[in-house]
Structure formats: structure tokens, C-alpha cells
């Protein structure tokens, strides 16, 4: 299968690991930004294949995980209203709010539906003109263009019973916030290839220069990750800090012009709260004034939300790369995919979910994984 099997070749993986091993001379800490990359790393044991001097730190690149609790609680309140059909991707249904989740709302009679595209929600609005249809629009720069296009289409077609509950976040401000943290140990970043396929790489050189960190754009298959690590370690060893595109089959430096134009038309940059982290200036989007009528927060005027994070949950530290999931006292016991305390345990890109799914259940370093097991 083109672009799958080729990037899981164990012999090529072995060569990359050996090249990294022969290059590294001192400890380095690299952060992979994307939760999808985290799952690839844990699933294939890439962190255990690498020499001990190379540490991979898991970053806040799971959009479900960083959706703020207040927005989750607003979604639950809106979804509970009898006049509303609430549409969402499936990975949001188990994300806990202050006291329940969307599955619970549905069991209590709320009309909560799983869709596979925001355009599915728009079609539901067309088919149900007497109901209010709300789509839960979350994600990084990758999912923002189709959500923007859906709002654009709703306005163009005159569909008035559709709105978007927006919780979009942007990667570059998150990298800046991580580097400004007094507890930061990150010395380089593996940037998310799908984000850069939309946005390009134009925002990264200034960050690389200001903080003195290499930023290597990386894909999601095992060889993508290893090649990204190889290029990053080579820069670190040479004392360089440049932006390098290791994912040229999907990423152009300028990004996707059509998607960028749609984002500029429909959204405007705003401060955004990240769950477990706090407010990061300029790190999100909201609907621009000309599309404000399609903003569910304005349409439903949800106020008086009392948010309460579980005291035992340490997902904020996990999202900031300060804690590995299995170092949390309640990981795998009180907190499991069936009884999650935080979104990182239930999201398909959450670090805690990856550690639980692939049986990284204790703090002991597992035996090294054989390179031949990649894939």
C-alpha cells in the first residue's frame, strides 16, 4: 500500500536508529507536538528504540484534550435543550465535563448525534428546519478549514438554524507558551505535518530563532518519526536551530492557499483557554463579526457555568510535557478509558489513552523493542 508499508520498513528503521545512535553525544529532549505522533511513538515502541540520550516528551497536540472544561460544559448545556440537535465527532462524546459527558446527555434524552463531517451537520439542519442544529467545532489548524467552509456554506445557502460551537486552537502560540515556561526542558520540536499542510511553515522560523530550538516538520508513520528525530538530533549536535521540512510529500512551505483564504474570511485570531494549561494569547480562533450569527455561544447565551476539574487529574502536567502518563498516581486505576478523569484518557490522540492502550502501565522502563517489530 503506497505511503503506508513503505514507511514501516524495519530495515530502514534500523538504519535510521543506528544513524541517530552514531550521531548523538549528549542528552537531548525533543517534544512531538501532535497526539497522533505520540500514538505512533508508543504503539511502535519508537521511544524505546532510540538511544537513551534521546528523550521524547509528549506535547499538547491533542485537540480533544485541550478543549477547555468551560466549553465542554457549555456543549453539555446546549445539547440538553429540547430544541437542539447537537452534532459532534465521536471522540468528544466520552470527554468528561464537570459532572457528565455527551453520552450521559444522550441517555437522558438529548438529541446528540455522531457525524463524520461538519457538512453532515449542515445537511441535518436542512432536513430539520424546525430544530436548532449545533456542530461542535474543535481542533487545531487541520480541522478549522472544513468547519469554516461549513459556516460559509450555511450563510451562502441561507440556512439559519445551524451554528458552530467553536474551540479551535493554534500550534505556534502553544510552542511559544511551552518555551516560556520556567519548567521547560524542551530543546527541539517535531512539528505536526497535517497542521503545516494547511498553514505552511511561515510562523516557525521566528520561534526557532528566538528560542534557539530546531523545529522539524514530521509525518505520522514510524519512519517519518525516526527521520524527524534524526534530522533534529543532527541539528542539535551541530548547534543549529532551523526549520526543516521532513514531510515534503504533504507539506508545502506556503501551505494551502485556498484553506488559508477560507480561514481568514470566516475566523479571527483570539485568546484561547487550553484545558489543564490556561489562557494562551492569540492561540485560538473565533468566528469573525460577519459570521457571528452562526456562533452557538452567542446564539444560546450560555452563562453561569460552574466548572470543576477532578482534583486527582494531572492531565495538565501531561499536556505540558512535565509528566509521563504512567507517572500519575491514578493512571490505570481510578482513571481508565471506562472511568476517565480527564480527556487525555479517552481521546484517540490522548497520551494517557496511548499508554493505557499499548500497556505502558508502570514506571519501569520496558525492555528494548526489536526494530523488526516496527509495523
**What is the percent of the chain where pLDDT is above 90?**
77
**What gap in Å lies between CA 147 and CA 276, rounded to an integer?**
25
Which value, in Å, is the radius of gyration of the alpha carbons in the chain? 21
Q: How confident is the model at residue 164 (pLDDT cuts 50, 70, 90)?
A: very high
| Residue 98 burial (C-beta neighbours within 10 Å; 0-12, 13-18, 19+) | middle
- Phi, psi values for residue 168, rounded to 5°: -95, 140
pLDDT at 322: 87
Query: Which residue has better confidence, 375 or 257?
Result: 257
Summarised one tens digit per residue, pLDDT across range 261-314 is 999 999 999 999 998 788 999 999 999 999 999 999 999 987 667 677 788 889
The two most distant CA atoms of the chain are separated, in Å, by 66
pLDDT at 348: 85
**What gap in Å lies between CA 356 and CA 217, rounded to an integer?**
27
Summarised one tens digit per residue, pLDDT across range 62-106 is 888 999 899 999 999 999 999 999 999 998 998 988 889 999 999
Mean confidence (pLDDT) of the chain: 92
Q: Where are the beta strands (DSSP E) in the chain?
A: 28-34, 54-61, 84-88, 111-114, 132-139, 162-169, 188-192, 215-218, 243-245, 267-274, 278-287
pLDDT at 368: 43
pLDDT at 26: 97
**What gap in Å lies between CA 17 and CA 126, rounded to an integer?**
53
If phi > 0 it is left, if psi is from -120 to 50 it is alpha, else beta; for residue 278 that is left
pLDDT at 289: 96
Summarised one tens digit per residue, pLDDT across range 333-347 is 999 988 888 889 988
**CA distances (Å), 196 to each of 38, 228, 324, in order?**
17, 14, 26
User: Is the pLDDT confidence value at 375 over 60?
Assistant: no
Summarised one tens digit per residue, pLDDT across range 208-265 is 999 999 999 999 999 999 999 999 999 999 999 999 999 999 999 999 999 999 999 9
SS3 of residue 303 by DSSP: coil
| Region 107-112 average pLDDT | 97
Which residue has cell 526489536? 370
Q: How confident is the model at residue 3 (pLDDT cuts 50, 70, 90)?
A: low
User: Is the pLDDT confidence value at 370 over 60?
Assistant: no
Amino acid at each position: 500500500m503506497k505511503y503506508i508499508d513503505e514507511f514501516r520498513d524495519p530495515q530502514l528503521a534500523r538504519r535510521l536508529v543506528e544513524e541517530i545512535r552514531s550521531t548523538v553525544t549528549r542528552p537531548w529532549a525533543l517534544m512531538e507536538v501532535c497526539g497522533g505522533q505520540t500514538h505512533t511513538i508508543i504503539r511502535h515502541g519508537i521511544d524505546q528504540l532510540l538511544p537513551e540520550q534521546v528523550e521524547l516528551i509528549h506535547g499538547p497536540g491533542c485537540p480533544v484534550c485541550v478543549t477547555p472544561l468551560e466549553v465542554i460544559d457549555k456543549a453539555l448545556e446546549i445539547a440538553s435543550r429540547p430544541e437542539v440537535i447537537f452534532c459532534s465527532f465521536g471522540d468528544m462524546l466520552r470527554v468528561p465535563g464537570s459532572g457528565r459527558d455527551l453520552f450521559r446527555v444522550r441517555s437522558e434524552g438529548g438529541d446528540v448525534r455522531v457525524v463524520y463531517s461538519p457538512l453532515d451537520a449542515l445537511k441535518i439542519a436542512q432536513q430539520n428546519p424546525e430544530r436548532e442544529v449545533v456542530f461542535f467545532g474543535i481542533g487545531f489548524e487541520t480541522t478549522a478549514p472544513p468547519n469554516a467552509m461549513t459556516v460559509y456554506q450555511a450563510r451562502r445557502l441561507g440556512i439559519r438554524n445551524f451554528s458552530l460551537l467553536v474551540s479551535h486552537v493554534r500550534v505556534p502560540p502553544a510552542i511559544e507558551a511551552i518555551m516560556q515556561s520556567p519548567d521547560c526542558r524542551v530543546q527541539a520540536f517535531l512539528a505536526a505535518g497535517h497542521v503545516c499542510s494547511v498553514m505552511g511553515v511561515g510562523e516557525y522560523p521566528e520561534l526557532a530563532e528566538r528560542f534557539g530550538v530546531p523545529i522539524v516538520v514530521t509525518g505520522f508513520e514510524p519512519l517519518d518519526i525516526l527521520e524527524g528525530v534524526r534530522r533534529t538530533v543532527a541539528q542539535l549536535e551541530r548547534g543549529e536551530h532551523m526549520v526543516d521540512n521532513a514531510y515534503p510529500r504533504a507539506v508545502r512551505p506556503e501551505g494551502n492557499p485556498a484553506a488559508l483564504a477560507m480561514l481568514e474570511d470566516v475566523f479571527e485570531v483570539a485568546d484561547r483557554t487550553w484545558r489543564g494549561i490556561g489562557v494562551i494569547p492569540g492561540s485560538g480562533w473565533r468566528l469573525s463579526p460577519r459570521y457571528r450569527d452562526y456562533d452557538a455561544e452567542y446564539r444560546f447565551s450560555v452563562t453561569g457555568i460552574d466548572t470543576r476539574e477532578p482534583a486527582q487529574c494531572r492531565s495538565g502536567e501531561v499536556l505540558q510535557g512535565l509528566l509521563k502518563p504512567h507517572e500519575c498516581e491514578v493512571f490505570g486505576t481510578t482513571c481508565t478509558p471506562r472511568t476517565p478523569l480527564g480527556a487525555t484518557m479517552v481521546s484517540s490522540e490522548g497520551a494517557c489513552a496511548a499508554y493505557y492502550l499499548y500497556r505502558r502501565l508502570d514506571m519501569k522502563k520496558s525492555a528494548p523493542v526489536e526494530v523488526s517489530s516496527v509495523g
